[in-house]
Amino acid sequence: MKITIQSLNKQYKNGFSALKNINLEINEGLFGLLGPNGAGKTTFMRILVTLMKPSSGIVQVDDFDLMRHRRQIRSMLGYLPQDFSVFSKLSTWEFLDYTAALAGLTNGRERKRAVDEMLEKVGLYDARDRQANKLSGGMKRRLGIAQALIGHPKIVVVDEPTTGLDPEERIRFRNLLSDMTHREIIIILSTHIVSDISSTCNTMALLNKGELIYNDAPEKLIAEARGHVFQINALDSDLDTIKEKYPVIATIPSADGWEVQVVADGLHDFHGTEIEPNLEHAYVYRMEYGLDN
Ligand code: ADP
């Protein structure tokens, strides 16, 4: 199965172009959509899950067209929106049972088994009788992924799932997504947090100001930044100048001042040593020096 996107544009009523000529193919596995706030990620996700219509362009899921086969495509989708919350007073178990029924699991006995299994998988079985809207932030997010996955969707869309989670819950959530990935489904994860992508995704896209500026493996983006990341041993008095000249990734205190990590096409005024880039360096390098894909 694959999603094919051609010349996708979205212009809001006020004339603002949130997506500009996006061409993209998304295959089975975990696909990461990375970009700063305002890049157009939510707009893109909402179009994919049929909550919003594009201004122009084509989105196809295999042979189904998003505009002509909305119902069929909807039946393949699971969605965890950015602002997922549970308003009702249902227990965790009742809530998931309810969403499972909506997702088409009509046989009571099968549904009960599916709900129990899913609660086990996301680590909420012991919380099954607790009121869903009173769960902690991390637990709610896990209930969110459970409700997105319960109807055996072929495409799962997850919008900024780790925002606001503490590190432990963030790691737990990422592991949960990786665990789901061996099934033959497409999982699309949107995030502005680089480390969400590096540890989980096999393919990624980078969105900036509505434009697709990268689409390939995270490792390739990292390779591109090789030779462009430097560590400068700096004094207090150098810091401002360095920040003016180069995008700074990290400023780490050292014995005699600071170790400053920067991305640059080359260092001119400061002496630095080249260091091995990680995805965060590579992301900043691409955003700042914007090569053609
Ligand atoms: P992201 O999810 O990457 O933060 P969004 O898709 O939410 O980005 O927003 C992309 C851009 O579109 C932002 O600049 C935002 O202000 C703008 N935008 C979002 N919704 C609307 C709207 N209904 N009308 C006009 N502009 C909008």
pLDDT at 293 over 70: no
What's the mean pLDDT in 260-271?
A: 91
Cβ–Cβ < 8 Å for 275, 26: no
pTM across the whole model: 0.90
Question: What CATH class has 2-216?
Answer: alpha beta
Domain segments of the chain as ranges: 2-216, 227-275
Cα–Cα nearest to 122, from 78, 79, 179, 168: 179
pLDDT at 182 over 60: yes
187: its two tokens: 């999982």
C-alpha of residue 205 to centroid of ligand 1, in Å: 18
Cβ–Cβ < 8 Å for 242, 270: yes
Which atom of ligand 1 lies closest to the CA of 19?
A: 10
Residues 125, 164, 194: CA angle, nearest 5 degrees: 105
Q: Determine how β-strand 272-274 pairs with β-strand 155-159.
A: unpaired
Q: What is the pLDDT of residue 263?
A: 95
Cβ–Cβ < 8 Å for 250, 234: no
Local confidence band at 73 (pLDDT 50, 70, 90 cut-offs): very high
What is d(CA 207, CA 219) in angstroms, rounded to the nearest whole number? 17
Most ligand 1 atoms within 8 A of CB, residue of 13, 19, 33, 43 to mutate: 43
The distance of Cα 45 from the centroid of its chain, to the nearest Å, equals 10
Q: CA separation (Å) from 179 to 96, 115, 130, 243?
A: 20, 18, 25, 40
Pocket around ligand 1: residues whose beta carbon is below 6 Å from it? 12, 14, 16, 18, 35, 37-43
Greater confidence (230 vs 193) lies with: 230
pLDDT tens digits, one per residue of 100-111: 999 889 999 999
What's the mean pLDDT in 194-207?
A: 88
In 126-237, the DSSP E strands lie at 155-159, 186-191, 203-208, 211-216, 229-234
